[in-house]
């Protein structure tokens, strides 16, 4: 799989569910040495029977991050590919969100990503080849009410990734941002659970509306735009869009893939399958317009302004 002397071992965070799990399974299937990680080993025990090596890693615990990186480097020489996937969404009114929750949000989505990247870079630089894949979000390009702190973390990931890309490119390392839209994972449940903790107070009605809109994105009108982490339609074929993109990122030195951002914020995972009367171009245009309309409805309803 790898060029002699170059490790292409893949370290993925947050593999207990969703995109992380789907990515680990796909890359293991493609023959890559995959180190799937999660806070609890029992949550990823089954991945060990499917070609993955499993490690305990908590992005809020530097000791566990250092131990995981050392284990991989002892076995492979270096972490060749880092997929920073671990993260969650904190939702609720800006004013009443406790600082302890804000700090935990940044610790998980930003500071853990920073430190783990710092830990893998020395050996990655030494072999002069590497891929750092940071899972951002469409929420790193736009901002919706009730998600101030989550959006702030994803905007931070975008900015840091863009700066880091320039700094490490001379060492043969590429940094790529992936910006998924709605995907059917436990993300929505986690986000609404954070709102439920603040049922009272001056923003109670606002928080209820935010929770309803998040639920709608995963179970209501917008659900048809949400793709499965691994089983997403793209044009006229089943294709794991986000995970397939990561495969191309890793193989960029072997295939001609456009460098920089790989964004599915308004593409890919909101496509409906093409048919003879409704080609891919029309699907993309219609889906994009519809999702933008629903975003407009979302923000207007929360602001209390009339939508004519």
* CA-based R_g, the chain, Å: 20
**Alpha helix (H) ranges present in 30-106?**
62-76, 99-106
Q: How many residues does the chain have?
A: 308
Instruction: Enumerate the H helices of the chain as residue ranges.
Output: 18-29, 62-76, 99-106, 112-126, 148-168, 187-196, 204-219, 241-250, 280-303
Residue in this structure with the two tokens 């995109």, named with its chain if needed:
19
C-alpha angle 76-80-86 in degrees, rounded to nearest 5: 110
SS3 133: strand
Residue 6 CA to residue 284 CA, distance in Å, equals: 39
- Active-site annotation, residues: 150
| Residue 166 Cα to chain centre, angstroms | 21
Per the rule left: phi > 0, alpha: psi between -120 and 50, beta: everything else, 274 is beta
Q: Residue 193: what are its φ and ψ, rounded to 5°? A: -65, -35
Tokens representing 276 are 């003879």
CA distances from 143 to 69, 84, 91, 193, 303 (A): 34, 21, 12, 20, 14
């Amino acid at each position: 799989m790898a060029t002699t002397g170059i490790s292409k071992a893949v370290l993925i965070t947050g593999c207990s569910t969703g995109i992380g799990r789907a990515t680990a399974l796909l890359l293991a299937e493609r023959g890559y040495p995959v180190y799937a990680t999660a806070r609890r080993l029992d949550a990823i025990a089954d991945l060990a029977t499917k070609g993955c090596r499993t490690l305990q890693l908590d992005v809020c615990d530097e000791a566990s991050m250092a131990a995981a990186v050392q284990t991989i480097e002892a076995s492979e020489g270096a972490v060749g590919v880092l997929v920073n996937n671990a993260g969650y969404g904190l939702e609720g009114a800006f004013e009443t969100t406790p600082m302890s929750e804000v700090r935990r949000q940044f610790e998980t989505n930003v500071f853990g990503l920073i430190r783990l990247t710092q830990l893998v870079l020395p050996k990655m630089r030494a072999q002069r080849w590497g891929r750092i894949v940071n899972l951002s979000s469409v929420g790193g390009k736009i901002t919706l009410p009730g998600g101030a702190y989550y959006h702030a973390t994803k905007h931070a990931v975008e900015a840091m990734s863009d700066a880091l890309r320039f700094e490490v490119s001379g060492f043969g390392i590429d940094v790529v941002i992936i910006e998924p839209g709605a995907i059917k994972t436990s993300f929505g449940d986690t986000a609404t659970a954070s709102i439920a903790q603040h049922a009272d107070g001056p923003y109670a009605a606002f928080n209820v509306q935010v929770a309803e809109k998040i639920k709608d994105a995963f179970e209501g009108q917008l659900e048809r735009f949400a793709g499965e982490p691994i089983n997403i339609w793209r044009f006229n074929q089943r294709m794991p869009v986000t995970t397939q993109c990561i495969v191309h990122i890793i193989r960029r030195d072997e295939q001609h893939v456009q460098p920089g951002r790989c964004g599915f914020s308004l593409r890919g995972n909101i496509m409906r399958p093409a048919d003879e009367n409704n080609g891919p171009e029309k699907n993309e245009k219609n889906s994009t317009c519809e999702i933008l309309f629903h975003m407009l409805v979302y923000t207007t309803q929360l602001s209390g302004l009339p939508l004519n």
